Amino acid sequence: ALLPVVDDITRTLPQQVGPLLEVLWGALLELDDLTSSTHNVMLLLSALMTVCGQQQQAQGDSKPAAAADAASAACAFDLSSLSTPMPELVLRCFPFLRHPSKAVRQSTLRTIQTLLALMSSNEQSPTLSGAVKSEPGGAAGSWMSGDKLSPLMCHLFQAMLLDGETEIHDEVEKTWIMTVSRAPAELVNRIALKHLPNWICLWLSATSVPLDSSLLLLTTAQQSSSSSLGSAQDSKQPLSVFIGGLLGTESPAEQDQQACVVRLRVAKLFAALASTLQECPVASTTSVFTALQGLLQSLLRSNSAVARWAASYMVASWASLRKPELDKSLQTDLLGLAGVSSAPVYDEVYSLFNNVQNECKRLVLALQAANVPLPDQPSMYTAESAAQLGSTALSVYCQQLSPATAQPIQRQGPSVLA
């Protein structure tokens, strides 16, 4: 009932905004996916936080000249006066990033964006060493420390990987860019290096099998206190989830299409991370910027078509943000990608592809054992060459053999065609 009048409340009843926000933030500690009021609470909280945040930023960016403008600016509620530090409030949002309702997930991301923007406006620009200015009293808190920034980056990555809605992808990308560009570069580098191997494994996972739940960061929806939220109660419960929010019951074509979209969006997250650290190089001997270049090189040299395609799109997304500073060897791999000698293999059909290769080789060995003269065989059989070998060519070869010898060999033909 309050959603339509959020603007009016913040303008005419600013003294009531603080208590209302305290109630809403406190309610998040008691809500979960099954609570009927979760949808309304999260939407109202997001709307209030967004309006107050916009008013507060507008008040800080300009000094009203007219008395009316000054009175209007005075109506803005100072979100830093909330009893809970803003980094702790960000943690309270995590359980709702995987809520069944798209509106709840979208509101959660927008609330996090508001908190990140306000934390940045309350701090000095982060230095390369990670030093930031802490606000006296800790009401708004300093920029998120590593124990809070790490789960935020993991949950944002997972929100992109596990969601199938374009609107959510847009909000996640916006929140990710705000996070990696405003947090201290050294801290972002250290956290990303820690989680990069898991992220890559999840990013390139096959669409037809559930993701490895041990690589996912999970949180419980209910927490008894804000202090318990500080640890986020991470768990490693068995979970059957698929890339792109799939259920595992879709057709292979639907699975591939959704996975393709999600992998493209995840590539943009890696590109934003690389672009940010390229602009603000870190002092560490090992950086995500360097690690990503090594990763790109290994993916481009792989026989996996998905790996090559994903790496190529990551570079394209990176180039759309700024000119990538790539090693010469990586540039060579990119330029020679179209002319690679080895045929790519699609991971989703690898099992079928491998069976075709084995059946073709088994048939060729049987023909050679029967002393049938064969032309040079390809190192890798395509669908067309395998079909020809198991049908037309096999009939010609078997004509050179006695019926007793040809019969068992001919029975291998359907295996090749299957």
Per-residue pLDDT of 124-173, as tens digits, reads 433 333 333 333 323 333 566 778 899 999 999 999 999 999 999 999 99
Residue with tokens 């949950």: 155
Q: DSSP letters of 268-281?
A: HHHHHHHHHHHHS-
Q: If you average pLDDT over residues 66-89, what whole number do you get? A: 65
Handedness of CA 372, 377, 383, 384 (dihedral sign): negative
Token pair of 52, please? 């107050």
Statement: residue 48 has pLDDT above 90: no
Q: If you average pLDDT over residues 63-79, what whole number do you get? A: 50
Q: Which residues of 210-225 are buried (b: 16+ CB within 10 A; e: fewer)?
A: ebeeebbbbbebebee
Maximum pairwise Cα distance, the chain: 106
Confidence of residue 416 (pLDDT cuts 50, 70, 90): confident
Confidence of residue 60 (pLDDT cuts 50, 70, 90): low
Q: If you average pLDDT over residues 59-75, what whole number do you get? A: 48
What is residue 332's predicted lDDT score, i.e. its pLDDT?
A: 67
What is residue 349's predicted lDDT score, i.e. its pLDDT?
A: 58
Top mean pLDDT of 154-163, 255-264, 302-311 is at 154-163
Report which of residues 311 and 248 the model is more confident about: 311
Rounded CA separation 346/204 (Å):
11
Q: If you average pLDDT over residues 101-119, what whole number do you get? A: 91
The residue among 132, 109, 110 whose CA lies nearest residue 182 is: 132
Our CA angle for 370, 374, 379, nearest 5°, is 115
Residue with tokens 């050179």: 400
Residue with tokens 């099998």: 209
What is residue 34's predicted lDDT score, i.e. its pLDDT?
A: 61
pTM of the full structure:
0.71
- The SS3 of residue 218 is strand
- The SS3 of residue 7 is helix
Statement: residue 206 has pLDDT above 90: no
C-alpha distances out from residue 416 to 79, 367, 391, Å: 68, 14, 9
